[in-house]
Structure 1
Amino acid sequence: MADPAAPRPAPRPVSWEPAFSTLGCPNAGVREVARLAREHGCTGVELRCDPPEGLLTPRTPPAELAETVDLLDRAGVRTRWLAGYVRVADPGVTDTECLVTLAELTTLAAEVGAVGIRVFPGADRPGPEADARAVRRLRAAAPQAADAGTSLLLETHDSHPGAADAARVLSAVDHPAVGAVWDVLHTWRAGESPAESAVLLAPWLRHVQVKDAVSRQDPRPCLPGTGAVPLDAVPAALTAVGYRAHLSLEWEKRWYPEIPGLPQALAHTARALGLPDTWAAPGH
């Protein structure tokens, strides 16, 4: 019989697979993206779908799609997401327009084997009308996503920056093909701690984006671990809710061209999270 006074072994650390968004290498072609993934041990990539420099769009020729899949497969990228820019709560587009775009992205996701399609809330103002608009559209698009083997993932962003905001919408949609992307910067800027955000999003959490910034008031990106975002609290928060998928660096080089390159940011990410140096390239 075990001695009840004996010290208990420390819990085994959880390891999450690393990923990155092509937002961090906006001018890179798929060969460069595959090389970065391979060198940094990243098994997941978020593929931007925003013309003109998005890596993929619903208009990409079939031969290019096939090459993209082949190169990513050979680089060990087993998990892919489409970083779409549909704004599901946007009052400036009709339901039909929104659903047509979501259908196009769903078809593209099936063609490249993407497990999820990131969408934004994008309302002009938060409130019940914005929630209802997002719920209606996500609920209508969900069956096609399920049939295609993918999911629609609402990001904590813009009009719905907090986990509490996204959770209101997701609980009302109540469909297994609709989940959440937790952007840790936006929930923190909304006043939530990582522990609070993780609990609120836990029933729907499919993907996590990490980044760092100067302050709550100043969202300019800085190398992970050098800014004000409490990234060191994220692993414990995810462990507590049983999240076991990817952690993805969203390095906003596209919007801030003056910041360091993606390789340097990848090398900082694991250290900022207190994890094994998975993101650092060999010899870094």
Structure 2
Amino acid sequence: MSMKFAFSTLGVPGLPLPDVLRLAAEHGYHGVELRAHPEEPVHPGLDPARRADIAAEFKAAGVEVLGLAGYARVAAPGDDEPVVAEIRGLLELARDLGAPYVRVFPGGADGQSAEEADAVAARRLGTAAEHAADLGVRILLETHDSHPTGAAAMRVLGLVGHRHVGALWDVMHTWLGGEQPSETYAALSPYLGYVQVKDIASASDTSPLALGAGVLPLAECVEVLSRHGWDGWLCWEYEKRWYEDAAPLPGLLTAGREHLGRLLNDSA
């Protein structure tokens, strides 16, 4: 098995880090994607001593920090500086924690033309890319909101043209955008950082489900990645934070990892 498995702390809102690390170790996950938000234990407001402690806790547990899920919106209208500063703060936190990736959103607004949104996003990402390169961290633009497909994300990434700016493939948004996994992979493969997997009941009901219990084309996604020899991370983003009635994630983690393992074996 070449791919590695992680889960996002979006699935365990506010859970203390020692408990997160225990879940990862007990259920066979190699890494964790940390939601970088003030309501979580990890966010850019942490002082250097706390950052060092967190990095040490992960190292001691043998669990990797896959990435920081930030909330900067790179295509959003307004001044560049606050957005670039927000990305810089995330990049510095990632460096301090030993995380290779920082997630940002497109965040284009209604009334913006696609060309304008693309240009604004590319300009800000290009500016932040220099800082990312200095710190050895990659910024990943998630397939999300105004740019839900690989084709849409590629428009921005092609304009940036910097190896420290890549893509985060969220399989739900590309599916909702009407893109086939083979099409998404073809668009994003030069830029792909890692892949967020999840499952939902339907396009109209996006409440999180156990992996394999819904309609998302997880088997096809894993199959296309395997066929191309991709050996990166699959990260389960279970959106418990936004769906309080969803089943608790801890009880689903082992079955989720086993499901991904079966998909990998079937595609080998």
User: For the superposition of Structure 1 and Structure 2, which TM-score range results when normalised by the shorter chain?
Assistant: over 0.9
Equivalent residue letter for 1:226: A
More off after superposition, 149-158 vs 96-105: 96-105
Superposed, which structure 2 residues align to 1:12-91 within 5 Å?
14-51=1-38, 53-91=39-77
Task: Encode CA deviations 1:167-191: one digit per residue, 9 max, x unaligned.
Answer: 1111111001000100000000100
- Shift of the 31–277 alpha-carbon distance from structure 1 to 2, 3 Å rule, reads farther
Say whether residues 1:134 and 2:121 are aligned partners.
yes
Q: Secondary structure at the match of 2:241?
A: coil
Tell me how far apart the structure 2 counterparts of residues 154 and 218 of structure 1 sit (CA, whole Å): 25
Q: Are the aligned partners of 1:182 and 1:209 in contact in 2 as well (CA < 8 Å)?
A: yes
Calculate the TM-score normalised by the size of structure 1.
0.88
- The 3 A distance-change label for structure 1 pair 188 and 272 is farther
Given that 1:15 and 1:275 are in contact with CA atoms closer than 8 Å, whether structure 2 keeps it comes out as no
Name the amino acid aligned to 1:199: A
**Contact 1:22 / 1:45 at 8 angstroms: preserved in 2?**
yes
91, 98, 102: which is aligned to 1:117?
102
CA apart distance, 1:15: 3.1
CA distance, structure 2, for counterparts of residue 196 and residue 276 of structure 1 = 19
The AA in structure 2 aligned to 1:110 is R
Gaps of 5+ in 2: none
- Deviation of residue 212 (structure 1)? 0.5
SS of residue matched to 2:118: helix
User: C-alpha displacement at 1:275, in angstroms?
Assistant: 2.5
Tell me the matched-pair count: 263
CA–CA distance in structure 1, aligned partners of residues 215 and 172 of structure 2: 10
Cα distance between partner residues in 1 of 2:105 and 2:205? 21
- Name the residue aligned to 1:98: 83
Matched with 1:4 is none
Gaps of 5+ in 1: 1-13, 279-284
SS at match of 1:275: helix
What is the CA deviation profile of residues 226-274 of structure 1, one whole-angstrom value per residue up to 9, with x for unaligned ones? 1111111121111233321110000111111211112233233244445
Aligned-residue offset at 1:195: 1.6
Secondary structure of 2:251 counterpart: helix
Q: Verify: 1:144 aligned to 2:144, yes or no.
A: no
> In the aligned structure 1, how far is the partner of 2:263 from the partner of 2:151?
31
Q: How does 1:1-284 map to 2 (within 5 A)?
A: 14-51=1-38, 53-91=39-77, 93-125=78-110, 127-273=114-260, 275=262
Structure with the larger helix share: 2
Summarize deviations over 1:199-239 as a string: whole Å, max 9, x none. Answer: 11100001100000111232222111111111111211112
Q: Distance in 2 between matches of 1:199 and 1:242?
A: 13
SS of the counterpart of 1:46? strand
SS state at 1:74 partner: helix
Please give the alpha-carbon distance, in whole angstroms, between the structure 2 residues aligned to 1:270 and 1:195. 23
Q: CA RMSD in A?
A: 1.7
Between the aligned partners of 1:203 and 1:32, the Cα distance in structure 2 is: 36
Indicate if the aligned counterparts of 2:129 and 2:139 stay in contact, CA closer than 8 A: yes
Listed one character per residue, the Cα deviations across residues 123-159 of structure 1 (whole Å, up to 9, x for unaligned) are 1136110000100000010010011010100000000
How far did 1:75 drift?
1.6
Q: CA deviation at 1:80?
A: 2.6
Taking only the aligned residue pairs, the percentage that are identical comes to 46
TM-score (norm 2): 0.93
Code of the aligned partner of 1:80: L
Structure exhibiting the larger radius of gyration computed from Cα positions: 1
The CA distance in 2 between the partners of 1:103 and 1:59, in whole Å, is: 12
Q: CA deviation at 1:194?
A: 1.4
